Amino acid sequence: GWSLAALDTAMAGRSHRAGPAKAKLKEVIEKHRKILGIPADYKIGIVPASDTGAVEMAMWSLLG
């Protein structure tokens, strides 16, 4: 069954600027780079949006 203890390591309510959250984001970005074969000089961003929000961010960046 499920237990509340499963959330012991969750960072719920923690700022993305906090040390543990920054470390988790760095880990996720590094895993994406390795799994997808993304070159070291490419930037990877984690955005707080749905797929639609992420595509909109890219569109405005490309179209100005």
Q: Where are the domains of the chain?
A: 4-63
From the CB of residue 29, how many other CB atoms can be counted at a distance below 10 Å? 15
Scanning the structure block, which residue is given the tokens 């100005």? 64
pLDDT in tens, 37-59: 999 999 998 887 778 888 888 89
pTM: 0.62
**Spatial contact of 22 and 16, defined as CB atoms under 8 Å apart:** yes
User: Over the stretch 10-30, which tens digit does the pLDDT of each residue have?
Assistant: 877 777 788 888 898 899 999
Phi first, then psi, for residue 51 (nearest 5°) are -55, -40
